[in-house]
């Protein structure tokens, strides 16, 4: 494989990756080839940097269609965010944490899609909306996602059932964990999540509220 070196400040690469090379990296990552995750991150770092710059400083290339579409998508998510307001809202998070979130988005996208360049923005949109709307639970969920194997697939049915639920999360009921997974990890709306779980919207909201309260107390988080 070709080696790539990335300059975090300038966003430049020594070697321009071809589509075939990137598709090959995704396939290798999915089957667990040694070093594939690191190579995938290096290859897609320029893409991640574009979003990182936008979220931390509001800087973006006005001719960049990818970022323009991303901002338009956020604007239709009942957030009414300009790039300036987005930066102000995201200041509660450390820039390094935002970078970590984007890396998680990359790996999540690679697990689901081959053409990461065109689908990455949709995964980031879900992530950013969650960060903006509910940072308390999301911050602890991010801790869970980055623990041990750092594999987003760890948040699965076994986690919902409490088999793999870690400290703090084991205090929630299966339904409360299911609600949190569908809303904060899968990015579903509350209405869709309620329908998927075959419960009323009011019951889902109650589970969400109780789950947040339990987690806030356990992780010593201040409720807003």
Task: Name which residue leads in pLDDT, 84 or 113.
Answer: 113
Task: Name which residue leads in pLDDT, 120 or 222.
Answer: 120
Task: Name which residue leads in pLDDT, 175 or 78.
Answer: 175
pLDDT digits (tens, 9 = 90+) for 18-74: 678 888 889 898 888 888 889 999 999 999 999 999 998 888 888 888 888 888 888
* Residue count (the chain): 224
What average pLDDT does the chain have? 75
Q: Quick one: angle between helices 135-145 and 95-112, nearest 10?
A: 60
pTM above 0.85?
A: no
pLDDT score recorded for residue 87:
77
Domains with residue ranges and CATH for the chain = 6-133 (no CATH), 152-218 (1.10.10)
Residue 171 — φ and ψ, nearest 5°?
A: -80, -15
Averaged pLDDT for residues 171-188: 82
pLDDT digits (tens, 9 = 90+) for 126-170: 888 877 765 544 444 444 444 333 333 456 777 777 777 777 788
Quick one: residue 7, left, alpha or beta (phi over 0 = left, psi -120 to 50 = alpha)?
Answer: beta
pLDDT score recorded for residue 121:
92
The answer to whether residues 98 and 56 touch, using CB atoms and an 8 Å cutoff, is: yes
The answer to whether residues 47 and 61 touch, using CB atoms and an 8 Å cutoff, is: no
Q: Quote the CA–CA distance of 180 and 56 in Å, as a whole number.
A: 26
Residue 198: Cβ-neighbour burial (10 angstroms; 0-12, 13-18, 19+): exposed
Other beta carbons within 10 Å of 43: 22
């Amino acid at each position: 494989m070709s080696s790539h070196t990335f300059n975090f400040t300038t966003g430049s690469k020594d070697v321009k990756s071809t589509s075939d090379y990137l598709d090959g990296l995704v396939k290798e990552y999915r089957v667990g080839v040694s070093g594939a995750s690191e190579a995938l991150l290096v290859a897609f770092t320029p893409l991640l940097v574009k979003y990182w710059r936008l979220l931390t400083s509001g800087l973006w290339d006005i001719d960049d269609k990818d970022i323009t579409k991303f901002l338009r998508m956020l604007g239709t998510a009942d957030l009414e965010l300009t790039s300036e307001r987005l930066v102000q809202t995201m200041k509660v998070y450390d820039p390094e944490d935002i970078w970590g979130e984007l890396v998680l988005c990359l790996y999540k996208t690679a697990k689901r899609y081959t053409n990461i360049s065109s689908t990455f923005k949709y995964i980031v949109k879900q992530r950013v909306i969650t960060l903006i709307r509910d940072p308390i639970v999301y911050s602890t969920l991010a801790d869970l996602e980055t623990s041990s194997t750092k594999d987003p697939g760890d948040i699965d049915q076994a986690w919902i059932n409490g088999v793999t639920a870690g400290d703090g999360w084991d205090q929630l009921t299966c339904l409360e964990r299911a609600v949190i997974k569908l809303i904060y990890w899968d990015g579903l709306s509350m209405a869709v999540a309620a329908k998927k779980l075959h419960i009323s919207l009011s019951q889902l909201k109650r589970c969400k509220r109780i789950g947040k309260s339990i987690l806030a107390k356990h992780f010593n988080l201040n409720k807003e």
